[in-house]
A and B are shown apart, each in its own frame.
Chain A
Amino acid sequence: MREFLAFFEKPKSDIISVDSESQQIRELAAFLKKRPRSLFSRSIAVRMIDCGSSNDVEIEEGLANAPQVDCERFGIHFVASPRHADVLIASGPVSINMKTALEKTYAAMPRPKAVVAVGDGACTGGLFKDSDYVFRSGRVDEIVPVDVKVKGNPPSSYAIVLGILKAGAAISKKR
């Protein structure tokens, strides 16, 4: 019975899957149009952590700050410390050497908080799910609860921005 209930309690994560970049921009625009006003819809402090990706996801996160995408216009700003952050964006697969760092970073964040898993490695373990040097299957949700999954190898900056905005909406519900 408990297991049965636990199935329902398990946090369900929102999945953004890759398609063309134009598709992702349309999805982002649609989300922005109907997003409700809430505490975390127009000011989201984001801390990123790389738990084992090649640097592709980090490049796309960095380019979310480039003038073409400019995530600050949606109220998203990257902060230096997890203690300042509302949302954690984690890329993976989570290597054994980074497992503790991920736990500590998540623990250092104030509540309410949300986590976005960015990239195929973080969502599914990707190519490395059978590697001996990633933690279990390498998924981020094996270690910390994940609210939004953004798939892609790597996902575009727009998809990452959409993932962060959805995570902001998820925190509002947690309060």
Chain B
Amino acid sequence: MNGANDFIKSIKKNSTGISADGALIWIETDPIAIVDACDACIGKGGAFDSAFAYPSSNGKDWTVAYLFRVPKLENIAIVWSHAKQFYSISGKIPAAMWDERKMAETSGIRFFGLSDTRPIVIHPESYNLLKGKVSASLPKKQKELYKTDYAFRGTEKEGEFEIPVGPVHAGIIEPGHFRFHVTGEEINKMEVRLSYLHKGIEKILVGKPLDKAFPIIEQISGDESVANSVAYAQAVEMALGIAVPKRAESVRLLLLELERIYSHLADIGGMAMDVGFYAVSARFAALREEVMRLNEGVFSNRFLRNIISIGGAEETASAEEIAALVNDMRSISEELSRIEDLALTSSTFLDRVFLAGRVSKEAAKELSLVGPAARAAGVSCDARKHLPYGAYKTNKVIEHMAENGDVLSRLLVKINEIRESVRLIDAEIAKRVKGPISANIDNKLRNAKSGLIGVGICEAARGSSTFFLRTGKNGTIDVLLIRTSSFRNWRALEKAVMTNIVPDFPLINKSFNLSYSGADL
């Protein structure tokens, strides 16, 4: 832990107390020094991950915690402070803007210097539909937020038009609103407005027993069911100090990679669909349906749900069924190669995807993007590699990168990641891990103390998701705060569409394929 000491030493001058407990580095600061401490974390190679606000244990204040991934230490640094008012860090770290807006709205904390204070979770026009007890419990200052209509950024130049799109879009897709500013065909600016699907997941989880939360966690985003469940399970396991058996880790890896495969197949097929290349998109759709059926055949659920549990996984697939996966993986990668040839030798297809929807490396770093979106722009950020967990500690992941940050780069990264997933599944099956699939957790759950904190990070298909947990009495959830990969990446879309034409928007949107439900919670 020599590196950790260096890291701590360099941040020490901004903090009032530092503790490191193996997996987390806690950096306590004054509310005033929080900006400098966060800046120092970025300067020391940390990447902004997420920000959470929860009631302090003293019952009066709010605790605000900024999480940074520190790849060189394989560790997470948490800068935290408790007060009622804070200084906003989003002036120095623009990635934190949406996080701070959300914290300001949901907790009523005031952030000095936060340039955008528009509500992000509840829409002012639907505020009067809130159930009575919630709107009555809101402080007066927060009610003010919902009195005025949501102010979109207006047009600036002469001859500029606004195109409002959504929430109900043309395709089979979730709801979100996009406001384009165009002169002619070219997009000058685009603003995303989400939260149409906000159903209060973080609120409804409060008070639930720790082991009964999975059905709700799986509703965060259907095609990230496994990744979110694993991230949650890891948060609980860290908080309660549960060791996961090797075989459970192995099954988790298989599930995570299968999920990545079917998720990426949908993205690539969707990109072909949006440029009108139906021969390719139909074959991707067929391949994806095959993988979904494989999921059901082996693990009894098309979305791989109801398998992950705290301390391990459920026994759903026999050893023979899992061993037979190798053949399925071979046929998947063969079919993938055939379709890939079909797509990447078509000059009209390449013409549409090459240099469309670019996100520069600087922008990707500034917005602290995660997942294939960041890797396509040349930013290394794979949680499986930088913060290895479970079976990824022994299976080294090769991170596939690209430079351009355009639609083609994201497409190639995703194709390569499917291959990497196939390789990982093959390698893991070859190990034939044996033993129990679940740790005995009944005792630990029943005797869980309140106030324990756990952080779970898991790389989903769209990037790493972070779960922040504080336990309550008798093994319940007191606070569970969630930052999904989609929430972090949505703002990249605003950057990517600049100077592109409006008809390319569906293609660019599909190349990110972010989850609306995952961002709205």
Beta-carbon contact of B170 and A131 below 8 Å? no
Q: Kindly supply a per-residue 1/0 record for chain A positions 25-54, scoring 1 wherever the CB is within 8 Å of any chain B CB and 0 otherwise.
A: 000000000000000000000001111111
* Among B192-200, B382-390, B430-438, the stretch in contact with A: B192-200
- With A55-B517, A132-B133, A134-B199 as given contacts, are A98 and B220 in contact (CB-CB < 8 Å)? no
Asked if A154 is at the interface of the complex by the 8 Å CB criterion, the answer is: yes
Residue of A nearest to B303 (CB): A56
Beta-carbon contact of B219 and A95 below 8 Å? no
Q: How far is the CB of B274 from chain A (nearest CB, A)?
A: 13
Asked if B223 is at the interface of the complex by the 8 Å CB criterion, the answer is: yes
Beta-carbon contact of A96 and B168 below 8 Å? no
Which A residues are in CB contact (< 8 Å) with B302? 156
Q: Kindly supply a per-residue 1/0 record for chain B positions 222-266, scoring 1 wherever the CB is within 8 Å of any chain A CB and 0 otherwise.
A: 110100000000000000000000000000000000000000001
Which A residues are in CB contact (< 8 Å) with B170? 80-81
Beta-carbon contact of A55 and B200 below 8 Å? no
Interchain CB contact (< 8 A) of A128 among B173, B195, B199: B199
Beta-carbon contact of A68 and B200 below 8 Å? no
Asked if B151 is at the interface of the complex by the 8 Å CB criterion, the answer is: no
Beta-carbon contact of B199 and A52 below 8 Å? yes
Q: How far is the CA of A50 from the CA of B220 in the complex (A)?
A: 14
Beta-carbon contact of B289 and A54 below 8 Å? no
Which A residues are in CB contact (< 8 Å) with B289? 63, 66-69
Asked if B515 is at the interface of the complex by the 8 Å CB criterion, the answer is: yes
Residue of A nearest to B218 (CB): A54
How many chain A residues touch B (CB < 8 A): the figure is: 45
Q: How far is the CA of A118 from the CA of B410 in the complex (A)?
A: 32
Q: How far is the CB of A86 from chain B (nearest CB, A)?
A: 17
Residue of A nearest to B284 (CB): A66
Q: Kindly supply a per-residue 1/0 record for chain B positions 478-521, scoring 1 wherever the CB is within 8 Å of any chain A CB and 0 otherwise.
A: 00000000000000000000000000000000000001111000
Beta-carbon contact of A154 and B222 below 8 Å? yes
Asked if A5 is at the interface of the complex by the 8 Å CB criterion, the answer is: no
Instruction: Show 30 A/B contacts (Cβ-Cβ < 8 Å), sorted by A.
Output: A21-B296, A53-B197, A53-B222, A54-B518, A55-B222, A55-B223, A56-B225, A58-B222, A59-B223, A66-B282, A67-B285, A68-B289, A78-B172, A82-B168, A95-B198, A96-B123, A96-B130, A97-B196, A98-B175, A101-B167, A101-B168, A101-B196, A127-B204, A127-B219, A130-B204, A131-B203, A132-B200, A133-B134, A134-B199, A156-B302
